[in-house]
Amino acid sequence: MTNQRKIFAPVANVETQTYWDAASAGKLLVKTCLACGEPHFYPRALCPFCFGETEWTETNGEGEIYSFSVMRRAPVPYAIAFVRLDAGPTMMSNLVDCDFDSLRIGQRVKVAFKPAENGQNVPMFTPTG
């Protein structure tokens, strides 16, 4: 039995291809509205706040755990979390390379790219410090 959880390959589309290309290069992008200035995640062509045009913005890949849950009944335990990025939006992802019992809400995290089954980097997060 392997101790690694399988990471399924993401399916890119016209609105997300730039996001996945950046992830392959080790960069975490979010969309920012050109009209109201609000950053948002999940990538989409129009701002979910005002329906304005958007552009890609690179983040520092850091944030804090807003909420999380550890799945221990799976063959390989894993943690999912909502991470509030320093850049503004909150995104759902996995927490990796850490002791699940030491995770805490408000804990600082940084992006850690992990390869999916097809080699595509997928942004996940690991605690800092």
Instruction: Spell out the long-range contacts of 114-121 with Cβ–Cβ below 8 A and sequence spacing 24 or more.
Output: 114/7, 115/7, 116/7, 116/8, 116/9, 116/10, 117/6, 117/7, 117/8, 117/9, 118/9, 120/9, 120/10, 120/20, 120/23, 120/24, 121/23, 121/24, 121/26
Domains along the sequence of the chain with CATH: 17-127 (2.40.50.840)
What are the structure tokens assigned to 110, written together? 């940084």
Whole-number Å distance between alpha carbons of 91 and 80: 11
Q: Is the pTM of this model over 0.85?
A: yes
Q: For 74-88, what is the mean pLDDT?
A: 95
What pLDDT, in 10s, does the model give residues 22-69?
Answer: 999 999 999 999 999 999 999 999 999 999 999 999 999 999 999 999
pLDDT of the residue at 4: 77
| % of the chain beyond a pLDDT of 90 | 88
pLDDT of the residue at 69: 98
